[in-house]
Amino acid sequence: MDGQVIFVDDEAAIRDAVQQWLELSDFSVRTCASAQQALELLDRDFPGVLVSDVRMPGTDGLQLLEQVLALDRDLPVIMVTGHGDVPMAVQALSLGAYDFIEKPFSPERLLDSVRRAQDKRRLVCENRQLRQQFALKDHIEAQLLGVSPSMESLRRQILELARTSVNVLIRGDTGSGKEQVARCLHDFSPRAAKPFVAVNCAAIPEHLFESELFGHESGAFTGAQAKRVGRIEHADGGTLFLDEVESLPLAQQVKLLRVLQEKTLERLGSNRSIKVDLRVISASKPDLLEEVRSGRFREDLFYRLNVASVQIPPLRERREDIPLLFEHFVEQTARSHERQAAPLLPSELAWLLGHDWPGNVRELINAAQRHALGLSAPVPGVDAQSLAGQMEAFEAQCLHNALLRSQGNIAEVMTLLQLPRRTLNEKMQRHGLQRSTYRPAGSGDEE
């Protein structure tokens, strides 16, 4: 298809003729007998062109033009009149009409104007989409910090999945940021204005699960003195996040599966079905497929939840992100407590880079908070790493800093660190540092 056109005219014969001409030229055409019908089809994201007669009963073409341009100043509107009214043509153009065509007009005259208008609209829509993508990219980089390739890949994956409504299963170690990833999948989605409802399945006593998830009617059980809307119903239109979903009791797994299949639920103590529209994001530390094989999790529910999956890399596999994250959390804590944090000593930085971080980002946040408040060394109660290990970690940080400063320019790094090319290559390979990580977006590979 060459594009979309909405054609407005109160004469049925003209609507039919114009629709036939445009469809023969591969346009998708909607015809309307009134301005009101056309307005119901339009929004700011309409990717096509509006063509309208000027003289119509009720709302005329000039009034329609003003309302459309108030909706979107960049939407091309082509005006048509059978009266040869030059002052009216001038008025329409001054109001912002894209073009003005006199009746009777040839198919070629109309097609030429529509094609040019469609080309303009396509450029406007593409530019808007690019600006939106850049804005989202900047925003998500502030939510999910990191310069490592694995974090770049994770952010791209989240933005791609956020545009869909598929259910997502998040895998990641304890403290790796599963809820933050779920939040981003919601915040960058069309559901962002609706509720994000988080449920920690491991924190709810089994006898309260049904009431928590599905809600209950007054008197449904002893102590149920009033009606309660459950978490699933509260998430209607938005996102339900089930953290530690592997802890969901089997009896509730059956009921959740039914909700996902039928898009309805029943409160405890009620026979009335309530429609729900939601996206389910789940998170699990163990491999949920292993839980299925062991009989602790339903296979049919697993496939409902795991339409798409996201794997969060542990902190030990993206050590180049540790200094940035640590500095961010230190500044955040110091600012909230109106304190000035002490700078990191080289030995402390080496320890940060050498530590395995079994608690991942959560553990790093704790270390940063303690450092900002002057309570102790980065992580108390853990033996210092060997001297050799500290030296290795410190060397990796020096290489990282030089690559960051030079934006991956190897010749500049060699000068900064006074290293020959072969030695630098060997050290970068040993520490898992890749030049491409530090190169500016869109740059070539030349020095």
pLDDT digits (tens, 9 = 90+) for 74-94: 999 999 987 666 777 778 888
Return the pLDDT at 384: 46
Closest CA to 1 of 22, 17, 31: 22
Least confident of 93-102, 105-114, 315-324, 369-378: 369-378
Q: Are 251 and 211 in contact (CB under 8 A)?
A: no
Q: What would the mean pLDDT of 390-418 be, rounded to a whole number? A: 84
Residue 376's pLDDT band (cuts 50, 70, 90): low
Topology of domain 3-127, CATH: Rossmann fold (3.40.50)
| Residue 115 to residue 98: CA distance in whole angstroms | 12
Peptide bond into 420 cis (omega under 30): no
Residue 381's pLDDT band (cuts 50, 70, 90): very low
The whole-chain average pLDDT of the chain stands at 86
**List of residues 6+ apart from 388 with CB closer than 8 A:** none
DSSP assignments along 121-137, one per residue: HHHHHHHHHHHHHHHHH
User: Is-same-fold flag (3-127; 145-313)?
Assistant: yes
Return the pLDDT at 374: 83
Residue 104's pLDDT band (cuts 50, 70, 90): confident
Domains of the chain by residue range = 3-127, 145-313, 317-438
Q: HSE (CB half, 13 Å, CA atoms) of 2?
A: 18
pTM value surpassing 0.75: no
Q: What would the mean pLDDT of 269-289 be, rounded to a whole number? A: 91
| Residue 163 to residue 185: CA distance in whole angstroms | 8
Q: What would the mean pLDDT of 23-49 be, rounded to a whole number? A: 92
CA distances, 199 to each of 20, 203, 397, 402 (Å): 55, 8, 39, 43
Percent of the chain with pLDDT over 90: 52
Report the CATH superfamily, name and number, of domain 145-313. Answer: P-loop containing nucleotide triphosphate hydrolases (3.40.50.300)
Q: What residues pair up with 243 in beta bridges, in sequence order?
A: 200
DSSP assignments along 133-182, one per residue: HHHHHHHHHHHS---SHHHHHHHHHHHHHHTS---EEEE--TTS-HHHHH
Per residue in 128-186, pLDDT (tens digit) is 776 665 555 567 887 888 888 899 899 999 999 998 999 999 999 999 999 999 999 99
Q: What would the mean pLDDT of 2-8 be, rounded to a whole number? A: 90
